[in-house]
Structure 1
């Protein structure tokens, strides 16, 4: 609008100048009219300067507006980019949230399964903690048998240290391996020292069995503690290597077992009075000949290992809870009476 006004005034000035050139020197106008025209010209020039200033101001404002517009456009573009970035981040976050929710659901299912398994185990444990007397007896019997074997071996080693490489515990058996007690082909201890070993074994075993068997004789059982299990049998087992025939090996193995038992009973007579739950003698013998080797018979060392005596301890296994209670009652009665019922 300002540019149009300036252009209009320029046109007016041009027309005035044109009319002025058309006047001749002889042409005259009244002064009043001249003054009016002059004043109009001055006002037009002033208006032109004013309008030019306004135009410059408008141009400046226009340029500033354009800069502001460009800045706003840049800010808008930056805002759009930021919006797009935030939208992308938001989508990524939503994806991660969904993944985490799925993970939480899976972990919750796992936790529920573990909790259920824990509850089941706790229930089982609770049932197990309700000890079955029969199961408790059998577990105690196994533990007591091992303690008997350990005590027997340790007390023998105290008197006869040389037996360290000869006697060993094998599950329910105390094993005398090789020619520790008998020479090849013999059923008798060939030295006084070996005979002393058998005698010491009889004395120690008799003392131990006082706590794990019934007896018709009165004796001090105060050292037995609260033991409430019984030995069914102590079996002395004789073994040979494969050299020779069955006709010689079986009698030889049985003879070794018999000699061992007789030697033990000679120094500890009460061994023969130790009774099991069925009122049968606890002590027994067996001869296996070469039937149960523990090593090869193809070497000297193997055959030596197979010629042995095993002292096997068999614990009594009750058939019901009532029998367990009766065993405990009888053993308590024996201790209370000093060994006799």
Structure 2
């Protein structure tokens, strides 16, 4: 009886223990599932955050690319404006000199006003301006004194303030001396420089106000340089070719703030490189 009575009790206990063990197991599995779900949610959040971070970085790179494009376009516009202003200056000078009876050649690509041998002809192995050559330099001086101030931010009047940069101006007007290919090369360098210096001196004697024409930095626009026979315009070995190469050129350089513009563009490029490197960096688990 007792045994029979105890047997059901033992069976109930086993069923209870089985139920408890199954419950514990289910709780354990559920707990593990919750942990896995939490881990998945956390990982998903990290991935989402990382994705959002990448989207944010990409958007920043896009903004910098747009800014870079605007800066480059602005610089190109300034360069085109300077080239256009220089071409206009060259044509203004050519037309004015033509009215003075001087025929000159314009080289727009290099910003050069080339004075022919008919305008300024130097003797062989000589740098002196004599006779007609001196008279023609005087004509050139008057034309330069009349036209160059239009292309300068600083009026040719003592103590007058320079204008703000609202257009392209002349930075330097080089008076370039040249020789033919005869004679010693070492002598030709000195000779070409003397021709440029003598032309400069005659220009400022004829038109003293030329020295008051300044660029945006407040420096004199007129300068000199000599090239010996390195920039000949006629390769023939004839008397006519030699006389053409013994010449004076005027080369005009316009003011374009390329240095600060390039620094600005370089800063933008460096910033974009950093952002792109961030995008390419592998995710840290």
Scaled to the shorter chain, the TM-score interval is 0.5 to 0.7
Greater Rg, structure 1 or structure 2?
A: 1
* Equivalent position of 1:134 in the other structure: 75
Supply the distance in 1 between the matched residues of 2:200 and 2:255 (Cα, whole angstroms).
21
Aligned residue pairs: how many? Answer: 187
The question of whether the paired residues in 2 share the 8 Å contact of 1:168 and 1:175 is answered with yes
* Equivalent position of 2:246 in the other structure: 307
Helix, strand or coil: the match of 2:150? coil
* Equivalent position of 1:289 in the other structure: 228
Structure with bigger RCO (C-alpha 8 Å, 6+ apart) = 2
* Equivalent position of 2:193 in the other structure: 254
The question of whether the paired residues in 2 share the 8 Å contact of 1:179 and 1:304 is answered with no
The question of whether the paired residues in 1 share the 8 Å contact of 2:105 and 2:113 is answered with yes
Helix, strand or coil: the match of 1:211? helix
| 1:211-250 matched pairs, under 5 angstroms | 211-215=150-154, 218=157, 228-250=167-189
The question of whether the paired residues in 2 share the 8 Å contact of 1:182 and 1:190 is answered with no
| 1:189-200 matched pairs, under 5 angstroms | 189-191=129-131, 193-200=132-139
Supply the distance in 2 between the matched residues of 1:267 and 1:180 (Cα, whole angstroms).
16
Supply the distance in 2 between the matched residues of 1:208 and 1:134 (Cα, whole angstroms).
26
* Equivalent position of 2:274 in the other structure: none
* Equivalent position of 1:180 in the other structure: 119
| Residue among 144, 155, 171 paired with 2:85 | 144
Helix, strand or coil: the match of 2:183? coil
| Residue among 178, 199, 205 paired with 1:266 | 205
The question of whether the paired residues in 2 share the 8 Å contact of 1:177 and 1:307 is answered with no
- 1:132, CA displacement in angstroms? 4.2
RMSD in angstroms over aligned alpha carbons? Answer: 3.0
* Equivalent position of 1:154 in the other structure: 95
Supply the distance in 2 between the matched residues of 1:247 and 1:264 (Cα, whole angstroms).
27
Q: Is structure 2 residue 105 aligned with structure 1 residue 168?
A: yes
- 1:256, CA displacement in angstroms? 1.1
Q: Is structure 2 residue 218 aligned with structure 1 residue 279?
A: yes
Runs of 5+ unmatched residues, structure 1: 1-127, 322-341
TM-score, normalisation: structure 1? 0.49
The question of whether the paired residues in 2 share the 8 Å contact of 1:241 and 1:297 is answered with no
Supply the distance in 1 between the matched residues of 2:238 and 2:94 (Cα, whole angstroms).
28
TM-score, normalisation: structure 2? 0.58
Supply the distance in 1 between the matched residues of 2:249 and 2:166 (Cα, whole angstroms).
25
